[in-house]
Every structure is written in C-alpha cells, then in structure tokens.
Amino acid sequence: MSLNTPIFLKEREEDNSKFVEIQQSQTSSIAAEYPLQNLCLASQEVLQKAQQNGRSKCLKCGGSRMFYCYTCYVPVENVPIEQIPRVKLPLKIDIIKHPNETDGKSTAIHAKLLAPEFVNIYTYPCIPEYEEKDHEVALVFPGPNSVSVKEISFHLQEKIQNNVGGKNDDLDKPFIKRKKTEEQDLNDSKCKDTTLKKIVFIDSTWNQTNKIFTDERLQGLLQVELKTRKTCFWRHQKGKPDTFLSTIEAIYYFLVDYHTDILKEKYKGQYDNLLFFYSFMHQLVKNAKCPGDKETRKLTH
C-alpha cells in the first residue's frame, strides 16, 4: 500500500494541475466574451426601460433620440437625469471632435453626459489655447514619441524646467540636476505631485485623426499612449490593431492608470460609471448577434 502512495499523489497533483488549467482557460474565455462584466456600475434599469419604450424626444431641441441627445448632450425625456450617475474626475478633459465624425456614433458624448462639469467637447478646427499651458496638459494619442502614463510626471517636470530656463535666458545658471535614471526621477516625491491639470483626446475615426493631430496648436503637448489596453468596441475599424480604443474607452482606461500610477491610490471603481452607456450598448449589440439565445435576450428586454 505504501509503495503505491507516491504514484497516487503524483496522479492527484497532475489532475489538480489540469483542473486549474481548465479553470484558468474558462475564466479567460469568459473575460474575453464579457470584458465589461466586473464594472462597478449604477443600476441600468432606466436604460432597460428606455430601450423597451423606444425613442423619445430631447427636451432641448425636440429631436427624437434613444437614451440621450447627441447634439445637446443631455438624456432624453424618458431617461430622467437624476437616474443617470455623475462621475467626479481628478482632472479636466478636452475632446477635439472631427467635423465629419457622426454624432450618433461618437462615444465621446458619454463622458460629457456622465461628467459634465469636467468634460468639454470642441469641434475642429475649434481648439482651446494650450500654448502657455503645455506643462500641465497632455494629449492621449499613440505614436513613436508617446510616453506611458507612468512617465507623465517626469516629462512634465522636464517641461517646467525647460520653460523656466527659457524665460530666464541665463545660460550660466544650470538646470535642476537630474537623477541618473528616469526611473529614479519617477519615484521622486516631487514627480509624484504631478502638475497635470488637463488631458486632451481626439474623437475621430483613425483615418481622420491625422488632420487634427498634426495641427500646430497641439504640437507642443506631451503625447501619451495607452499601450496595453485593448478595445471591445463593436465598431472596430478594419485593419487597425485592437489597441486602438474608442474615445470613451481611452478616457476610462487613462483615468484608471492615472489613478494608480500617478495618484498612487488603489482603484476601487471610481470611474467605472463612465462606461454606463457604453457597457449597456455593448450588451445590446452582443445580444443582437445571438438572436437564438433567449436567455441572453432577457438581459435587455
């Protein structure tokens, strides 16, 4: 009996290992199928009722809309504004929208609806003046010169130092001595107290972004890229990588990373409600693609 025990234990360990692998595989599969399932969201019952009742009018312009008016940036009549969550953000957000971007398809409006005091939307070529504030404003856009969210503080501190040096025109005065490595600077207490006050996003199809991105008024801004995030947008643009996010996804993921990497605080779902409309629409689209699944349809009907 004792001779067989090691063999039995080995077989049991192998079975347990296989079981864990299967569980992890199933978990990954579920996460891929339901990427928005673990959000801390307010009740979406108001959206479920509105979806059942159909379109209603905007109280400002009178237009017929579903859920909200994409020209007035307000909920429609059968979506009471008091039942829509309000999200408090740690900084201001400017969204520069391409004039040819279809208003009804833009997710940028979600941010304005859910955090109206913190979000402004401008239609290109209308761009706010950033020239004297480039040390406290950054642009989220991928590219060879972009930095990660963790590196924002370091690069903004550099801008401050350069601006001070440029204004004094005193070549005899050395700049503040830099640490030996960028990593050390990022851990410096001064860099933790970031001067970032505003973040800018471009709302456009990826094929139209170049006109806005290359505008000289945006050229002095620090460029930030969300390199590890993947989109679950139902209008994914053909030929583009899955790291090209929809506008509301980019806003949400930036704020989550900013909260943990810059503010150095544990994230507890503070900005999840920015995806209040997005997650509901994502589920509607998913259900529409599975018309034979009655149980799934019950989630939104």
Q: What is the pLDDT of residue 18?
A: 53
Q: What is the pLDDT of residue 149?
A: 96
Cα–Cα dist 287/297, whole Å: 6
Q: What is the pLDDT of residue 158?
A: 87
Q: What is the CA radius of gyration of the chain?
A: 24
Q: What is the pLDDT of residue 232?
A: 73
Reading the block at residue 120, the tokens are 């402004």
CB 224 within 8 A of CB 147: yes
Cα–Cα dist 189/192, whole Å: 5
Task: Write the Ramachandran bin of 67: left for phi over 0, alpha for psi from -120 to 50, otherwise beta.
Answer: left
**DSSP single-letter state for residue 175:** P
**pTM > 0.85:** no
Q: Which residues contact 290 (CB under 8 A, 6 or more apart)?
A: 296, 297
Strands 74-75 and 92-97: unpaired
Q: Which residues contact 271 (CB under 8 A, 6 or more apart)?
A: 87, 89, 252, 255, 256, 259
CB 276 within 8 A of CB 114: yes
Centre a 10 Å sphere on the Cβ of residue 227 and count the other Cβ atoms it contains: 11
At 269 the three-state DSSP class reads coil
| Side-chain-side CA neighbours of residue 230 (13 Å) | 7
Q: What is the pLDDT of residue 8?
A: 55
Domain ranges of the chain: 43-84, 86-161+194-286
At 223 the three-state DSSP class reads strand
* pLDDT string in tens for the chain (301-residue length): 444 556 655 555 665 555 444 444 433 333 344 567 789 999 999 999 999 999 999 999 999 999 999 999 999 999 999 999 999 999 999 999 999 888 888 899 999 999 999 999 999 999 999 988 889 999 999 889 999 999 999 999 888 887 665 544 443 444 444 444 444 554 444 444 447 999 999 998 877 888 899 999 999 999 999 987 776 755 555 555 566 688 999 999 999 999 999 999 999 999 999 999 999 998 888 777 665 544 334 433 3
